[in-house]
Structure 1
Amino acid sequence: MAVEKLITQHIDTWTSALQTRSTAGRGSNGKIDLYGIKKLRELILELAVRGKLVPQDPNDEPASELLKRIAAEKAELVKQGKIKKQKLLPEISEDEKPFELPVGWEWVRLSDISGYIQRGKGPKYAEHGSVKVVSQKCVQWSGFKLEQSRWITDESIHSYTEDRFLKDRDVLWNSTGAGGTAGRVIYLPVVKEKLVVDSHVTLIRTVRDNGQFISNYISTYGIQQRFDPKHSNTLLSGTTNQAELNSSVVTSFLVPFPPQMEQERINDKAAELMSLCDQLEQQSLTSLDAHSQLVETLLATLTDSQNAEQLAENWARVSQHFDTLFTTEASIDALKQTILQLAVMGKLVPQDPNDEPASELLKRIEQEKTQLVKEGKIKKQKPLPPISEEEKLFELPGGWEWRRLADIAYVFSGSTFKSEDFNNESGAKCIKITNVGVNDFAHTNDYLPVDFLNIYSDSLVRCGDLLLAMTRPYISDGLKVCVCPNLYDSSLLNQRVCAIRLYHKSSFYYKYMSSETVLNIYQSRFNNSGLQPNLKMNDITELLIPVPPTAEQDRIITTIGMMSEICDQLKSRLQSAQQTQLHLADALTDATLS
């Protein structure tokens, strides 16, 4: 099958195979991996370097003849002193060859077809100059990023031989680091200014114009896998943090070598098909962005509804397009967040005039606080500032009340412990800021001496307490707030973590703390300030919180649970469908290569 047909006949497979890299919130299509198009790019390169992208022409001069001329040309350059004589490398054994080549192709070592292979050297940097040094940051899969380069001192230019200055048709290969840095490669058809490379980049200069094909081969998935230090046939040496692509590995690196005319046809066809992939990618991203904006706009109509009747109308409008709107994990997460927002604004369930108003609940809370202070169980709190009309975040339904968080909860922060106080074996568990995530508690192995439970009794947390990170309290996915689990009852709280112990135990307040309302309050406090987000106790104790009637709180929590379950089922079905698409993309790739 011609590759163009392979792309067009299976266009849905390539464009529908999406992978969500992590839990996504609103407007986060950047977290969606266009897996199918990525596999298509890999397939194009793999077909190219195996001789399956374009047909062979029996009239092409075989690669063996070109290799003879390259060897003769290199010998002459050595004789003229223009290049150094290269060390003899062992012949290529059959066991080394990773796959069978078409007729007229040859397996060669990179040094066989190169006149110059050399890592750069450590530069002396300057603020300004006439020569730039190319670092690994400049060599990206998305292109040559010369804006990442720096100048070298003019005084050091004389220490660079002519060979070290980049020339047209050079190949640059990142040679240090793991995790995607080492291995990146780029072909430079034209070099327009004076450039050298630093010691983390290897410069490869082929005798003839073979750099583009070599770069394509190095870019293939099979070769890039070998830049994992744990790979059984890794190209790297050294430790994970200091992994290196040694020059000896580069010179002996095995590459397939087609006839020159076929190389040019392959390069042209690969570039044409990669351009088509670029178009598919842009169309997919544009479609995802448009879908995201549509979802955001329609969900905003729900939270902007002025009353229950308008909400019902807007919900009916959204529900008509349910199957087309909620087709990504991001859109389903946005729906869950909208449900939560409607809940905390009093728009999710109808009010019942027979419910006891929140004012009665608040009276009981005040009586309980007074009694706890009297018994010495809590400290008498400082008076909180009155709530002005301007502060109120939205209009509350009848029977609801605005209060500050410290009106309805005992709020305290942790104690400062020394590093030598901790051990990893046994004792009193300690909750640190690293344990608190977005709706998630990460278990700890940090223990303090048992007698600290008495010494630092003011820092004891109970299961059911809300825990809030005070330093970097939020990420893009939400506020770092969670519930203290049963296993951590009577644990000690470390510094920069806040505990919120509600006088009226209800999941509603946790839902509110997890809502976009609270996230937006804290984000707006630190946005554009240039400061690391650090909450003070006043930021937490004075936080405005809506208090619904007790009976309505129960109805809200029940409804959130039911609707969240529907969202989870939607996401589960979507993930299953996505997995099927991923398998289809993989199967299509494997079938084409076999």
Structure 2
Amino acid sequence: MDKTLNFQFRKLTFIKTDSEELNQLENTTLMRAVFNEYKQVFPLKKALSKTQYGFTASAQESGNCRLLRITDIKEDGINWATVPFCDCDEIEKYRLDEKDILIARTGGTTGKTTLIQNIEENSVFASYLIRLSVADNYNPEYIYLFLNSYLFWNQILELKNGTAQPNVNAVKMTTILFPSCPKEIQDEIVEYKKNKVITNSILKQAESDFQNINLVHQNLKLILSENDKQTNIVSRLKQAILQEAIAGQLTTEWRTENPMQKGNPDTDAAALLAKIKAEKQRLITDGKLKKEKPLAEIAIDEIPFSIPDNWIWCRLGEICLKIHYGFNASAKLNTTGVRLLRITDIQNNKVDWKSVPSCDYCEADLGRYLLNNNDIVIARTGGTIGKTFLVENISEKSLFASYLIRAIPSTVISAYFLKSFMECPLYWKQLYDAAWGSGQPNVNATSLTNLYIPLPPLAEQKEIVEKVDRLMNIIDRLEQQIKHRKQLAENLMQTVLREAFE
């Protein structure tokens, strides 16, 4: 086979559905069958009468014609009713015609094409698109099939490489190689795609090849689907464990072995809460903590489930020394000096402190925003809203940025227990209820302060953390096995599909 043609399968990130992936695979089998039969390969310019860049204009609510943009081209076609308007003084030059092919020439969808069909009113195309007008001796739909095959994508991705911004131009497009065949064969291939009528040996071979590929594709997709179900089960299992932890169900036996001693913070949560309040009062007296307004008592109808008799319901603000916003400063590219921890520096509950950027600050900022071990920072806005990070083994002096909120736990409770609470269903329900009360999802220090939490005695908190850690380690290993099996299945699929086109 001519080495200039690469029919191999490759994963395309913008293809989201199995049906679209199968469509690309089927088109590739057709292109390979054509090549095997005719051995004719030409640059795309041979099949084109013209290439043309689109019209530069801004989209408007009204105008003398529609303006088709890259974003108007969807997987299921074009909804012309939603395409915006523009005023174009050169409609004849840019007017779209039936069977025109448009190709995106820049951005993440570079190379993506659409075939113009069922156009009902004057429409022009925007400047980030290239029009391919197909010559009379070629079927536009045949060329469109080629443009939606891995033979095309392997070439377009090569053209995109080596540039900072992915793009192709009209000249590059015309150099792409395609397998050619007589016009009547093109017509039969197009008809086959619509009605699956086999009229020649090319189609017979292509159908046989695609059936084999489709069978492999279906079997491997079943494996991946089962894998996704297992991942979902593991995720629900984690949440169930955390829920049992904060409801006292993991430590029933421990309480039997360690009955409540009234007034002992290790076994009596009311005594523990009193100890926390005494700690906060000492800090207020010493001028190290600002006195805050008393928090509202938790109403009966707020309590979502029962807890053990030696536990107590309280608000997050009652067991934290302080809950406050971060430092408003710009990150500096260098990673020396005092750091500025941002939401984006927290990945998978870990921070690479050496890579956290620095910032400008004054001594007063250090006193207010310097992170310490056992602090918990919480993302207050954006896609990671509510995500938490427990600071431990901190290796660099670091402040925390303004899109984070810090909760400083009392020194007489387990910060690890508090972190477990901040991953459980009760935490997420309260946080989402507070965050989505306005147009832009965000959580503030006040809403966090007022979260209600079941507080166990101190010794039981430590027992809960140990049990949760043991169970989560088991689940993490299971999760890694599931991920490994999924990666193996995906690798197998790509290997099988690549080999199918060798």
Normalised by the size of structure 1, how large is the TM-score?
Answer: 0.69
The letter for the 1-side match of 2:370 is: L
Per-residue deviation, 1:501: 2.0
* Matched residue SS, 2:96: coil
Q: Deviations over 1:3-48 (max 9, x none)?
A: xxxxxxxxxxxxxxx99x9xxxxxxxxx99767x776444322211
Is the aligned partner of 1:533 residue 2:441?
yes
The letter for the 1-side match of 2:99 is: R
**Aligned-partner Cα distance in 2 for 1:376–1:202:** 69
Q: Which among 259, 262, 265 is matched to residue 188 of structure 2?
A: 265
Q: Deviations over 1:308-350 (max 9, x none)?
A: xxxxxxxxxxxxxxxx898432331122122212222223342
Match of 1:485 in 2: 392
> Which has the higher mean CA deviation after the structures are superposed, 102-111 or 43-52?
102-111
- Kindly report which structure 2 residues correspond to 1:243-322, keeping only aligned pairs within 5 A, or say none: 243-271=166-194
Is the aligned partner of 1:203 residue 2:131?
yes
Per-residue deviation, 1:442: 5.8
Conservation of the 8 A alpha-carbon contact between 1:172 and 1:187? yes
Per-residue deviation, 1:400: 1.2
Match of 1:457 in 2: 367
* Matched residue SS, 2:250: coil
The letter for the 2-side match of 1:266 is: I
Q: Which among 480, 484, 488 is matched to residue 572 of structure 1?
A: 480
Per-residue deviation, 1:426: 2.4
The letter for the 1-side match of 2:159 is: T
**Aligned-partner Cα distance in 2 for 1:32–1:518:** 36
RMSD: 3.9
Match of 2:243 in 1: 341
**Aligned-partner Cα distance in 1 for 2:487–2:382:** 34
Conservation of the 8 A alpha-carbon contact between 1:439 and 1:480? no
Match of 1:385 in 2: 296
- Kindly report which structure 2 residues correspond to 1:116-135, keeping only aligned pairs within 5 A, or say none: 116-123=50-57, 125-129=59-63, 131-135=65-69
The letter for the 1-side match of 2:146 is: Y
The letter for the 2-side match of 1:45 is: N
Match of 1:555 in 2: 463
**Aligned-partner Cα distance in 2 for 1:404–1:438:** 27
Conservation of the 8 A alpha-carbon contact between 2:70 and 2:104? yes
Match of 1:182 in 2: 110
**Aligned-partner Cα distance in 2 for 1:371–1:570:** 47
Q: Deviations over 1:483-533 (max 9, x none)?
A: 113225653233342222222124221111122222221222232631x23
Match of 1:150 in 2: 84
The letter for the 2-side match of 1:580 is: L
**Aligned-partner Cα distance in 2 for 1:199–1:146:** 18
Count of residue pairs brought into register by the alignment: 467
Gaps of 5+ in 2: 1-10, 197-206, 261-266
Conservation of the 8 A alpha-carbon contact between 1:405 and 1:541? yes
The 1:430–1:188 alpha-carbon spacing in structure 2 relative to 1, beyond 3 Å, is closer
Conservation of the 8 A alpha-carbon contact between 1:469 and 1:481? yes
Q: Deviations over 1:380-433 (max 9, x none)?
A: 3332222222222332222111111121111243554554x9572422223234
**Aligned-partner Cα distance in 1 for 2:180–2:424:** 59
**Aligned-partner Cα distance in 2 for 1:522–1:277:** 47
Is the aligned partner of 1:469 residue 2:379?
yes
Q: Which among 369, 374, 381 is matched to residue 280 of structure 2?
A: 369
* Matched residue SS, 1:410: strand
Q: Which among 513, 517, 528 is matched to residue 426 of structure 2?
A: 517
The letter for the 2-side match of 1:552 is: E
Q: Deviations over 1:262-320 (max 9, x none)?
A: 323333444558999999999999999xx9xxxxxxxxxxxxxxxxxxxxxxxxxxxxx
Q: Which among 378, 389, 404 is matched to residue 315 of structure 2?
A: 404
The 1:493–1:151 alpha-carbon spacing in structure 2 relative to 1, beyond 3 Å, is closer
Gaps of 5+ in 1: 1-17, 22-30, 53-100, 292-323
Match of 2:264 in 1: none
Q: Deviations over 1:183-217 (max 9, x none)?
A: 11122354333322111111222224522221222
Match of 2:199 in 1: none
**Aligned-partner Cα distance in 2 for 1:197–1:210:** 22
* Matched residue SS, 2:301: coil
Match of 2:202 in 1: none
> Which has the higher mean CA deviation after the structures are superposed, 581-590 or 140-149?
140-149
Conservation of the 8 A alpha-carbon contact between 1:411 and 1:498? no
The 1:143–1:428 alpha-carbon spacing in structure 2 relative to 1, beyond 3 Å, is same
Identity between Structure 1 and Structure 2 (%):
22
* Matched residue SS, 2:130: strand
Conservation of the 8 A alpha-carbon contact between 1:126 and 1:150? yes
Match of 1:427 in 2: 337
Is the aligned partner of 1:498 residue 2:405?
yes
The 1:495–1:192 alpha-carbon spacing in structure 2 relative to 1, beyond 3 Å, is closer
Conservation of the 8 A alpha-carbon contact between 1:432 and 1:497? yes
The letter for the 2-side match of 1:429 is: R
* Matched residue SS, 2:302: coil
* Matched residue SS, 1:363: helix
Is the aligned partner of 1:544 residue 2:452?
yes
